[in-house]
């Protein structure tokens, strides 16, 4: 398997992230070349880990957002959870939107909102995936340093503008697609 195939196969796992994967991969390759980091199978695997963790975090964020848009169980089904919380004052103030999951799974109690349970599980998974993403970026930085070519600036600093630019491009493409469907 070629080194580029190691990264390109992410398109099968994360097809919705193919455009972002191409942008990030090209950006990383330019950065590696500029820093004098030699291309190697280990570098490709480390980059794949970073991208995979990034896509998992993004996926979980989309799932949490979609869950927030589902009808609240306490309502008649016409309001989203976010609208219900705004109306009742739940989810406001310091730490709003941050929920700590229970340390151990509990049996479902009578009247417990199943959406809340899913939201807690998603928040826990998101936290773990975010930590894994941070670790993969650190491992990639350490790999680059171990080749004798330490990187100037951290990968997180480098990735942030690329992801923002890619998100803007993807959002624009989605808007254009929606406009064509509405026409």
Q: Buried (b) or exposed (e) across 61-77, using 16+ Cβ within 10 A?
A: eeebeebbeeebeeeee
Q: Return per-residue pLDDT of the chain as tens, 183 residues.
A: 466 677 888 888 888 888 888 888 888 888 888 888 888 888 889 999 999 999 999 999 888 888 887 765 444 455 555 565 555 555 544 445 555 555 655 555 555 677 788 888 888 999 999 999 999 999 988 888 888 666 666 666 666 676 777 777 777 777 877 887 787
Phi/psi for 70 (5° steps) reads -80, 155
Q: How far apart are CA 183 and CA 178, in angstroms?
A: 9
Under a CB-based contact definition with an 8 Å cutoff, are residues 144 and 32 in contact?
A: yes
* Side-chain-facing half-sphere of 58: CA atoms under 13 Å: 17
**Which DSSP string corresponds to 89-104?**
TTT-STTTT--PPPSS
- CB atoms inside a 10 Å sphere around CB 29: 16
pLDDT, one tens digit per residue, over 27-55 is 888 888 888 888 888 888 999 999 999 99
What is the pTM assigned to this prediction? Answer: 0.61
Q: H-type helices in the chain, by residue range?
A: 3-8, 10-13, 18-35, 41-68, 81-88, 114-146, 155-182
Q: How far apart are CA 42 and CA 27, in angstroms?
A: 18
Phi/psi for 108 (5° steps) reads -65, 130
Q: Integer distance in angstroms from the first to the last C-alpha of the chain? A: 45
Residue 124: which of 175, 177, 63, 83 has the closest Cα? 63
Give whole-number Cα distances, 60 to 1, 32, 95, 172, in Å.
30, 29, 19, 22
Number of domains observed in the structure of the chain: 1
pLDDT, one tens digit per residue, over 96-116 is 555 555 565 555 555 567 778
49: containing domain: 3-182
């Amino acid at each position: 398997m070629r080194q580029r195939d190691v990264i390109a196969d992410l398109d099968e796992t994360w097809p919705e992230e193919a455009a972002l994967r191409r942008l990030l991969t090209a950006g990383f390759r330019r950065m590696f070349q500029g820093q004098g980091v030699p291309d190697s199978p280990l570098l490709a695997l480390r980059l794949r880990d970073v991208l995979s963790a990034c896509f998992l975090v993004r996926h979980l964020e989309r799932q949490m957002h979609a869950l927030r848009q589902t009808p609240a169980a306490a309502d008649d089904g016409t309001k989203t959870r976010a609208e219900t919380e705004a109306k009742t004052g739940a989810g406001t103030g310091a730490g709003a939107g941050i929920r700590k999951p229970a340390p151990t799974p509990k049996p479902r109690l009578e009247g417990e909102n199943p959406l809340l349970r899913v939201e807690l599980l998603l928040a826990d998974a998101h936290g773990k995936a975010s930590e894994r993403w941070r670790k993969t970026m650190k491992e990639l930085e350490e790999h680059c340093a171990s080749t004798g070519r330490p990187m100037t600036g951290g990968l997180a600093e480098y990735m942030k503008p690329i992801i923002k630019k890619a998100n803007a491009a993807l959002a624009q493409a989605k808007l254009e697609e929606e406009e064509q469907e509405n026409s």
